[in-house]
A and B are shown apart, each in its own frame.
Chain A
Amino acid sequence: MTRHEQILERLMQHLERFKSESGELHADADLINELGLDSVNVMDMLLEIEDEFDISVPINMITDVRTPRQLADVIVKIESGE
């Protein structure tokens, strides 16, 4: 499993709890329009992810993130930059 796959898997686990109210959970689902998260939900999930991977993910780095896969891209980039 690549690091990207590992991270994506963890992200999907974090998103499980949004599954019921929303469309199908998949790596390219739109967090807000398909999964029904609001901007605060996304930022709160980020707090948990930062703790899990012990990294800082500035919220300005995820302004263009729409999907779990894109979020994993950002985290991989931050991890490898350190």
Chain B
Amino acid sequence: MSLFDKFDRVRDASGSLALDSEPSPLGTRIDEVHSPTRGRIGNSEVILAGTNNYLGLTFDPDCIAAAHRALDEAGTGTTGSRMANGSYGSHRQLEQELAEFYGMPSAMVFSTGYMANLGLITSLLGPGDSVILDADCHASIYDACRMAGADVIRFRHNDAEDLDKRLRRLADRREDGLDNALIIVEGIYSMLGDRAPLTEIAEVKRRRGGYLLVDEAHSMGVMGATGRGLAEAVGVEADVDFIVGTFSKSLGAIGGFAVSRHRDLELVRFDSRPYIFTASPSPATIASVREALAIVAQRPQLRDQLWRNAERLYAGLQEQGFELGPTPGPVVAALVESPRQAIAFWHALIEHGVYVNMMLPPASPNGRALMRISLSAAHSDEQVDAILDAFATLGSMLDPSTPA
């Protein structure tokens, strides 16, 4: 039995679904990126509608200028971790700006959003502690919980009553209550684009106890009056103990962060292995993120434009009869019967000049394949129309009665 035998299933699946030839819906090679919303894949010029580039800031002139300056002034990389030589003034300044943005005393910058979840959760939790997470949480959260060695309990997706029931069971079992329990949910869920019922979840947390962590990876910059995310939008920030986010979506760069209303978050720095044992983000990255964070606060019209685009696309696809995620939002998911249909549809969309994400179970929920569209403030009305036109032209391919 060789180490690679365990990949037999992957090998078979990728061969039988022709995932190994270009262009491929998994690990798509995007040959050129012209703007936040246009690129080239092979011979197709495409509208990019699967990028998480919610505010379209990847080509923002101010962000680019800031990154250029930092590159010239501070070099290409930090060549060290935050704990050693990788904490520059700008990393600290960004942390301070994040803390101010959230109105919280403490913020930490990590090298990716994945590392932010890993770094915070593995440090907060250990054997004997409990974590109660939404069943549809991101892989980085699951991985973090497993690494932490805590007891991991799932609750049914977006079901506050189910959370309540599971916390009750947990509390019954323990003498010391829920002081060492952490509830984890996301703001907007990345696959179906639905939102946590955060008002109800916060109410359960207030009543039962425990800490609450909200991963706002897809909602920061996108929701809330000042762009802080879902907790701000529904007015429950006082009940949220930790917010995790990423620089890789609305902020258009790479990196992650955690903020907390508990000053003791500072102590996590000295314990968190995913913070200590990896190099820090490059100066140019930090510079563009600082600029993008300022833009999130200064240009609410970007959020308005994003939501206009999202609502128009959702309404249009709904009218065409597609089965969609439950609510309009920057992520719009069209559910598809089979992986084969999804793959064929994805290829046809590329030929019609539209790039979206294709997701297969178990990465997508409920055993369904899906076409995942993510919108951007940078999409024009014409581009949204073009996406709708492509779906209208090709929609019959997804008819359950059409043989794949």
**Which chain B residue has the least Cβ–Cβ distance from A58?**
B151
Known: A39-B362, A47-B156, A50-B166. A56 touches B135 (CB 8 A): no
| B173 x A56 contact (CB < 8 A) | yes
The smallest C-beta distance from A77 to any residue of chain B, in angstroms, reads: 14
How many angstroms from the CA of A38 to the CA of B150 in the assembled complex?
23
Contact B362 A56 (CB under 8 A): no
B130 within 8 A of A: yes
Q: With a CB–CB cut-off of 8 A, which chain B residues contact A47? A: 135, 154-156
Q: Mark B122-158, 1 if CB is under 8 A from A, else 0.
A: 0000000010000100000000011001111111100
Q: Across the interface, which residues of A come within 8 angstroms of B362, CB to CB?
A: 38-40
In the assembled complex, A55 has its CB within 8 A of some CB on chain B: yes
Contacts of B149 in A (CB 8 A): 60
A:32-54 near B, CB below 8 Å:
38-40, 43-44, 46-47, 50-51, 54
B153 in contact with A58 (CB, 8 Å): yes
- CB neighbours of A60 from chain B (8 A): 145-146, 149-152
A17 to B322, CA, bound (A): 28
Q: How far is the CA of A70 from the CA of B227 in the complex (A)?
A: 48
Pair B173/A82 contact, Cβ less than 8 Å: yes
Secondary structure call for the B interface? mixed
Chain A residue contacts of B367, Cβ below 8 A: 40
> With a CB–CB cut-off of 8 A, which chain A residues contact B154?
43, 46-47, 59
B 161-176 binary contact with A (CB < 8 Å = 1; else 0): 0000110011001000
Minimum C-beta distance from B144 to chain A (A): 12
B361 A40 Cβ-Cβ under 8 A: yes
Contacts A43-B154, A47-B135, A47-B154 given: A56-B169 contact, CB under 8 Å? yes
Q: Given contacts A44-B135, A50-B166, A82-B173, are A56 and B153 in contact (CB under 8 A)?
A: yes
User: Complex: how many Å from CA A16 to CA B150?
Assistant: 31
- Which of B145, B150, B170, B361 is A56 in contact with, Cβ under 8 Å? B170
Q: Which residue of A lies closest to B167 (CB)?
A: A56
Query: In whole angstroms, how far apart are the Cα atoms of A39 and B367 in the complex?
Result: 11
List which B61-96 residues lie within 8 A (CB) of chain A: none
Alpha-carbon distance between A50 and B167 when the two chains are bound, in angstroms: 12
- Residues on B with C-beta less than 8 A from A39 are 362
Is the Cβ of A56 less than 8 Å from the Cβ of B166?
yes
What residues of A have a CB within 8 angstroms of the CB of B145 in the complex? 60
Tell whether, in the assembled complex, residue B153 and residue A59 are in contact, meaning their CB atoms are under 8 Å apart.
Answer: yes
Contact residue among A54, A55, A59 (Cβ-Cβ distance under 8 Å from B152) = A59
Q: Binary interface profile of A, 47-75, with partner B (CB < 8 Å = 1, else 0)?
A: 10011001111111100000000000000
User: Would you give the shortest CB distance from A65 to chain B, in whole angstroms?
Assistant: 14
A30 CB to nearest B CB, Å = 14
Contacts of B166 in A (CB 8 A): 50, 56
Please report the C-alpha to C-alpha distance between residue A25 and residue B45 in the assembled complex, in whole angstroms. Answer: 51
Please, could you name 24 A-B residue pairs with CB atoms under 8 Å apart, sorted by A?
Answer: A38-B361, A38-B362, A40-B361, A40-B362, A43-B135, A43-B154, A44-B135, A47-B135, A47-B154, A47-B156, A50-B166, A50-B169, A51-B165, A55-B169, A56-B151, A56-B153, A57-B153, A58-B130, A58-B151, A58-B152, A58-B153, A59-B153, A59-B154, A61-B151
Interface residues of A (CB under 8 A from B): 38-40, 43-44, 46-47, 50-51, 54-61, 82
Shortest 9 CB-CB contacts between residues of A and residues of B? A58-B151, A40-B362, A59-B152, A56-B169, A60-B152, A38-B362, A58-B152, A56-B153, A58-B153
